[in-house]
Amino acid sequence: ACTNASVMVWARDPQTAQHINEQHRNPRYLQDIPLPATLAATDQPEQAFAFLQDAASSLIILGTPVAAIGQACDLLLRYLPPANLQTTPILWTCKGFEQESARLPHEVVQDRLAKIIPYTGVLSGPSFAREVAQGLPVALTVASSHECVTSRATAALHAGNTRIYRSRDVVGVEVGGAMKNVIAIACGIADGLALGMNARAALITRGLAEMSRFGLALGGEPTTFSGLTGLGDLVLTATGDLSRNRQVGVALGQGQDLASILSSGMTAEGVRCAQAALTRARGLKIDMPITEAVCAVLFDGVPPLDAVSRLLSRESRSE
Ligand SMILES: NC(=O)C1=CN([C@@H]2O[C@H](COP(=O)(O)OP(=O)(O)OC[C@H]3O[C@@H](n4cnc5c(N)ncnc54)[C@H](OP(=O)(O)O)[C@@H]3O)[C@@H](O)[C@H]2O)C=CC1
Ligand SMILES: O=C(CO)COP(=O)(O)O
């Protein structure tokens, strides 16, 4: 979707890789969208990394959910050629907190790669995969503490209908990406209950306040939360029907139970990370009423309307 650069996809499923090479479509995701002729796939990590011949101009993007980011790092450590270790930037796209450890993706990556692979960063922002694959306009942020990472990512991805903005605020960008999913579930619940557009606007605005409070406490910068990866992605996910997190919320609001909603195997990172985010926020003494309400509905069997009543019955406060 970005440039005419050659792209090699590593897929863990050999049949998926074969199908991509032969049919130029992904049989599992967005099957209706033809893939560019410059994109090839393999299930062999050695073959994927051998593709990175020009270490100076290559870029690796880890496109897995948060739950697999540690495994993806292990794969890099095992198979990335020595020439690439100190030169090729690694970006990830996942949005959330790790379920068991409540760590942000960069904390997982740092733990695994820091001493061996220095150049890492996060790619985030409002970007439904379907629209990106269709080549529609999109603006994203790449954040890293290394300028060489943001400039390489910009050189590789900023083209045509794709705009790349640069940031140094990895924490703020990751907190925005994680929390917008949780708030999108809350907005979906409100819409599933037909509570109206005023309620949705209130949840987005107070959700942004919640995201910002939490993000600042974790070390993010204030302006990041009004940017693409904060407000931008929050508005997209909370209001756009392509959002899987929003879809989960709508179904809950309409009375379906969580197990049946997730039975298709759909990825909804907000479900996976809401409890971890809450645990981490409590440790920092940050008040997160909307996240608490979402967790109560997801995990404690609280009926959606009761969770809304709890939110509404909170004491009045200054904005
Ligand atoms: N979809 C979207 O619009 C956007 C998603 N994101 C974020 O990016 C991340 C990924 O999202 P998305 O692509 O939608 O998720 P999906 O679950 O739809 O796809 C994830 C991909 O990761 C692969 N994968 C999962 N686990 C592993 C593993 N252990 N080892 C190797 N590969 C693995 C899957 O392989 P397999 O097919 O074999 O299961 C699949 O190809 C999420 O955190 C999401 O929030 C960010 C921006 C937009
Ligand atoms: O992150 C996304 C858009 O930026 C995709 O949102 P969902 O994971 O809710 O589909």
Q: Any binding-site annotation on 168?
A: no
Q: What's the gap in Å between 184 CA and the centre of ligand 2? A: 9
Closest-CA residue, ligand 1 atom 45, reads 95
Q: Which of 19, 112, 152, 180 is catalytic?
A: 180
Q: Any binding-site annotation on 269?
A: yes
Q: What's the gap in Å between 64 CA and the centre of ligand 2? A: 13
When pLDDT is averaged across residues 132-147 and rounded to a whole number, the result is 97
Cα Rg for the chain, rounded, in angstroms? Answer: 20
pLDDT tens column, 16-41: 999 999 999 999 999 999 999 999 99
Residue 47 and residue 18: Cα distance in Å, rounded? 14
Catalytic residue at 180? yes
Single-letter code of the amino acid located at 12: R
Q: Which two tokens stand for residue 69?
A: 């980011």
Domains in the chain, CATH or no CATH each: 7-170 (3.40.50.720), 179-312 (1.10.1040.10)
- Whether ligand 2 lies within 6 angstroms of the CB of 230 is answered as no
Surface-to-core class of residue 225, CB atoms within 10 Å of its CB (0-12 exposed, 13-18 middle, 19+ buried)? buried
Q: Is the pLDDT reported for residue 222 higher than 70?
A: yes
Q: Is the pLDDT reported for residue 287 higher than 70?
A: yes
- Whether ligand 2 lies within 6 angstroms of the CB of 141 is answered as no
Ligand 2 atom closest to 124 (CA) = 4
Q: Any binding-site annotation on 115?
A: no
Q: How many CB atoms lie within 10 A of CB 31?
A: 10
pLDDT the model gives residue 2:
47
Q: Is the pLDDT reported for residue 273 higher than 60?
A: yes
Q: Which two tokens stand for residue 263?
A: 């039975």
Single-letter code of the amino acid located at 52: L
Single-letter code of the amino acid located at 231: L
Look up the pTM and report it.
0.97
Helix (H, G, I), strand (E, B) or coil at 259: helix
Residue 235 banded pLDDT, cuts 50, 70, 90? very high
- Whether ligand 2 lies within 6 angstroms of the CB of 233 is answered as yes
> Which residues, 6+ apart, have CB-to-CB distance to 36 below 8 Å?
4, 7, 24
- Whether ligand 2 lies within 6 angstroms of the CB of 243 is answered as yes
Q: Quick check: 52 and 81 in contact, CB under 8 A?
A: yes
| Type and span of the H or E element at 138 | strand 138-143
Backbone angles phi, psi at 291, to 5 degrees: -60, -40
